[in-house]
Structure 1
Amino acid sequence: MTNTNPQLYLLTNDDEITTLIDKLEHALDTGVVSLLQIRRKATLKQYDLATVYREAELLVSLADKYDVDVVMNDDLELASHFCTGVHLGQRDGNLALAREILGDDVIIGRTCHADVALFKQAKKEGASYGAMGAIFSSLTKPKAGLVSMPILQKTAKVDLPLCVIGGITADNLYQLRDELGDVPLQYIAVTADIMAHSSSTIAAKCRAWQLKLQNW
């Protein structure tokens, strides 16, 4: 169901687009990023639809250059237009419909919070993975509730790849590993621990992640 070692799943932030592309060039060039989520919440609020699509096109093209799979955050129309995957929150679209529209081969993720029932439902509706979190206190979502290790351990009984998200850093990564025990893990989703850094230091940060994941 999963690789032996979890894969790094990078979520974009709301940096200005040229800054974001510069950062992503450095990150993707290390080869450690397996999946990229285009998550531009502020862009959607501040700019017109043409700008949203133009930015998405630039980011998808960049990911294609490095052969990295892409999922759009909560936007089935964007995903369909650019032939990418999609990640859906619990209130952000019908998963079964997304699977029907996008096809069997694309990655579709579902936010499951700390709820094993939602994780099971995600499998039933055709998700590629279920995302559980927050694992630690997060800068991105400081009000999110933390998921307990016993809840994560219950996901091992569900035949669906597990993604964990929320406050995970290179520094606390092995704490997560030790607490998970033998729970299989597909993706570790990260934003701030990589994207909050300057372009000049992102490659080094990614290589630190790469080393820790290789030694998982």
Structure 2
Amino acid sequence: MKNFQLQGLYAITDSKLMPDTDSMLFQVEQALRGGAQIIQYRDKSSDHPRRLQQALALVDLCNQFSRPLLINDDTVLAKACCAHGVHLGQSDGNIRQAREYLGVDAIIGNTCHSSLELAQIACEQSADYVAFGAFFPSSTKPDATPAPIGLLNEARSTLPVPVVAIGGINMDNAGQVISAGADMIAVIHSLFASDDICARAGQFDSLFN
């Protein structure tokens, strides 16, 4: 599974922008066609049967495009749907335990907010990438602690894994975090609220070329 390239547009699903499975699959497919390199399934609801159904459908879709699907905060769901990995927040479980449960080939990412120290710990625990943010005001997490842009360059030069920038990223500021050292940009609203998701994904993707 780790043959995947951890670079480029990292698209995260949103249940408010995707009210049902059909709309979610359509929107994610448009993102993939446009150039999204990684998809994360993020659904905080307690509807476990629906979450499993959607995750299975997304795994199948991502496999068609040879792109990885990661599950947000749920190693059990990740294993049940044969996802390519999991993304863990600081309060969502231990990286080592997730590695033991999902196997050596799983992609495991970790949210590190604005802390290089947390990222170093994540790397020691076998994380495959680390995510920092929020770099800009975010509608998904309006209370997120701001992260300084300079953190990206510091992380890129000191950490052995790819770095993700998240939080309020759009076409006006994405180039700024990429120039500062982000290997990936995690985008939700600016991508999936777009009138043309495929075109918007292509615009984000072109910033890496």
Contact 1:83 1:102 in 2 (8 A): no
Contact 2:149 2:177 in 1 (8 A): no
| Alignment match, 1:148 | 148
Alpha-carbon separation, structure 2, partners of 1:175 and 1:51: 37
CA drift at 1:192? 0.7
CA drift at 1:151? 2.8
| Alignment match, 1:192 | 189
Matches within 5 A, 1:1-216: 6-14=7-15, 15-16=18-19, 17-30=21-34, 32-41=35-44, 44-45=45-46, 47=47, 49-84=48-83, 85-155=85-155, 156-178=157-179, 180=180, 183=181, 185-198=182-195, 201-214=196-209
List per-residue Cα deviations over 1:32-74 (Å, max 9, x = no partner): 1111100012xx23x3x22221111111111111111011000
Alpha-carbon separation, structure 1, partners of 2:112 and 2:93: 14
Contact 2:178 2:208 in 1 (8 A): no
CA drift at 1:104? 1.5
Alpha-carbon separation, structure 2, partners of 1:28 and 1:103: 26
**SS of equivalent residue, structure 2 residue 101:** helix
- Coordinate RMSD, CA, aligned: 1.6
Contact 1:27 1:202 in 2 (8 A): yes
Structure 2 unaligned blocks of 5 or more: 1-5
Q: How many residues align?
A: 199
CA drift at 1:139? 1.3
Could you say if the C-alpha distance between residues 86 and 177 of structure 1 is closer, same or farther in structure 2, counting changes exceeding 3 Å?
A: closer
Alpha-carbon separation, structure 2, partners of 1:73 and 1:9: 13
TM value normalised by structure 1: 0.86
Alpha-carbon separation, structure 1, partners of 2:136 and 2:170: 9
Alpha-carbon separation, structure 2, partners of 1:159 and 1:213: 20
List per-residue Cα deviations over 1:95-146 (Å, max 9, x = no partner): 1011111112221000100011100000011100011001111111111111
Q: What amino acid does structure 2 have at the position aligned with 1:51? A: R
Alpha-carbon separation, structure 1, partners of 2:31 and 2:71: 18
TM value normalised by structure 2: 0.89
Alpha-carbon separation, structure 1, partners of 2:57 and 2:185: 24
Alpha-carbon separation, structure 2, partners of 1:36 and 1:149: 24
**SS of equivalent residue, structure 1 residue 171:** coil
Alpha-carbon separation, structure 2, partners of 1:205 and 1:161: 23
Contact 2:9 2:201 in 1 (8 A): no
CA drift at 1:6? 4.2
Could you say if the C-alpha distance between residues 186 and 82 of structure 1 is closer, same or farther in structure 2, counting changes exceeding 3 Å?
A: same
**SS of equivalent residue, structure 1 residue 113:** coil
Alpha-carbon separation, structure 2, partners of 1:150 and 1:212: 19
Q: What amino acid does structure 1 have at the position aligned with 2:90? A: Q
Structure 1 unaligned blocks of 5 or more: none
Contact 2:74 2:86 in 1 (8 A): yes
Contact 2:8 2:205 in 1 (8 A): no
